[in-house]
Amino acid sequence: MKIENLTLPKTAALAPMAGVADRAFREICKEFGACYLVGEMASSKGIVYKSDKSAQLLETGPEEHPVAVQLFGDEPETMAQAARFALQYHPDVIDLNMGCPAPKIAGNGGGSALMKNPLLASRIIEAVSQAVELPVTVKFRKGWDEDHCNAVEFARMAQESGAAAITIHGRTRQQMYAPPVDLDCIAQVKAAVSIPVIGNGDVTDLESAIRMYEYTGCDLIMVGRGALGAPWLFTQLRDYFLTGKITPEPSLEEKMAVMVRHISLACAYKGEYIALREAREHVAWYMKGFRGAAEFRRMAGQMSSLEDLKAIAAQVLAQNQEN
């Protein structure tokens, strides 16, 4: 698959997830085989008004490429200014968020609210495409609600406005992250445009990844929540789609080592105080399905140092050793 001059293997990409897909998690997913990464969405207004917090969301590391930074907003010139600002962080792609369902984003005219205003969305895509020489991509949804499913028309508009590729999440804004993703919608979008289409939603294992590819004909799949606490999913998908190999899950010891390495990276980038508090959700995801998981999650909520995390990992191993 090609996004202009960027060539990607037909394996799996990491989806942008606010508050989750930070640099540490992206690097871990890259190590495990994610072919392409998209960072956390950053406010275009925050960037233009010189918010350090917004700018920090654009930071990428040398190990991450190919990587996109993602912007949200509802003002064409502000989005264009933010895109130009983002170039200093050396992304490979500028991605525009037109699918976020969060009330604080959509309620202010950004994210999925733009699906109700395709003319404004078109102006944004055109403005950003003209502002930067990098490929500009767009991520959006099936529609605002079941009465307004305009993904096919929106996809055509994005292509005509200058998008180099699109990512379609097969749910409406009203549906948020349930019920099951609409694969028919993704297939219809793929058939409607000539630019690459990335399918997103409910890819949680090899079976669902194969189904997404085969049913929709999409050019690439994007994994979001399915990778939480399980970044090795990217290895399984890469190995299968490139070689046909079925790769087993890591051992319990390997999983705990990944968890500790992941959070250690976060501490290196953010400091222990911030990283360990943000890591509590990640630790809970890594614990899913383990004996004593509820108690380990409680312990994670109280950890204040990396040594606390390592102690939790040791207890997980002690209580869940495979025979």
Which residues are known catalytic residues? 100
pLDDT at 179 (0 to 100): 84
pLDDT at 178 (0 to 100): 87
> Is the confidence at residue 311, as pLDDT, over 60?
yes
> Is the confidence at residue 322, as pLDDT, over 60?
no
pLDDT digits (tens, 9 = 90+) for 90-141: 999 999 999 999 999 999 999 999 999 999 999 999 999 999 999 999 999 9
Residues 6+ apart with CB under 8 A from 141: 99, 101, 112, 115, 151, 168, 169, 170, 171, 172, 173
pLDDT at 323 (0 to 100): 41
- Cα separation of 57 and 44, whole Å? 11
Q: What is the mean pLDDT of residues 183-202?
A: 98
Q: Which residues pair with 198 in a beta bridge?
A: 167, 220
Q: Could you give all domains of the chain from N- to C-terminal order, each with its CATH number? A: 2-243 (3.20.20.70), 252-320 (1.10.1200.80)
Q: Is 317 exposed, middle or buried (0-12, 13-18, 19+ CB in 10 A)?
A: middle
Angle between helices 23-31 and 252-270 (to 10 degrees): 140
Confidence of residue 291 (pLDDT cuts 50, 70, 90): confident
> Which residue bears the tokens 């500790």?
260
Mean per-residue pLDDT over the chain, rounded: 96
